[in-house]
Amino acid sequence: MTTPEAIRTQILNLVKEYHTAKFAPKVFDPDKDLVHYAGRVFDAEEIVNLVDAGLDFYLTANRYAERFESEFAEYLGLSNAMLVNSGSSANLVALTTLTSPKLKARCLKPGDEVITTACGFPTTLNPILQNQLVPVFVDVNLGDYTAIPERLAAARSGNSINSSPGAKRISGKSPGF
């Protein structure tokens, strides 16, 4: 009788073979092939890990996610890190973290204003609303779509946070931006 571990080893070896056969590098022919500007980037090890997790019927976070969180936190010199499924979820987690009572007087509270660009992605706005914060919209520069600094200054109130890329918290307690 074959053991589950022996079968797993066979399956994972076949997955490596499959990767080589299916995804082997192809010679690019500029007369026939499309230039792909984006797409999936993976190797045999990643497919093996996917199938390995699937054999344990882990369809969500599992030992691979836990290992990644641990190693990533260590790499960044942090006590922990959280893996999420998308940038949208990361934005929600990041903004919600700023409402934590552990931040004491520095935490965002319902009704606090969050300055954001009028030209943006819905998942920038949704976490603001989900946390009962008030969005304050500012215009952007055409071309690079960053917030116009003068508009940021005009939008500033007693307790605003600027959600624009690379911006800092702006409030009566912290000077400028």
Mean pLDDT of 150-164: 71
* Same domain assignment for residues 50 and 115: no
Give a yes or no: residue 176 inside a domain.
Answer: no
* Same domain assignment for residues 69 and 141: no
The H-assigned helical ranges of the chain are: 4-23, 44-55, 63-76, 87-97, 122-130, 149-155
Tokens of 18: 């499959």
As beta bridge partners, residue 136 has: 115
Give the neighbor-by-neighbor strand order of the sheet with 159-162. 134-138, 113-117, 159-162, 169-171
Overall pTM > 0.75:
no
Per the structure, the complete domain to which residue 131 belongs is given by 87-171
Mean pLDDT of 117-125: 88
The CATH number of residue 153's host domain is 3.40.640.10
41-78 burial code (b ≥16 CB/10 A, e <16)? eeeeeebbbebbbeeeeeeeeeeeeeeebeeeeeeeee
For residue range 86-114, list pLDDT tens digits in order: 999 999 999 999 999 999 999 999 999 99
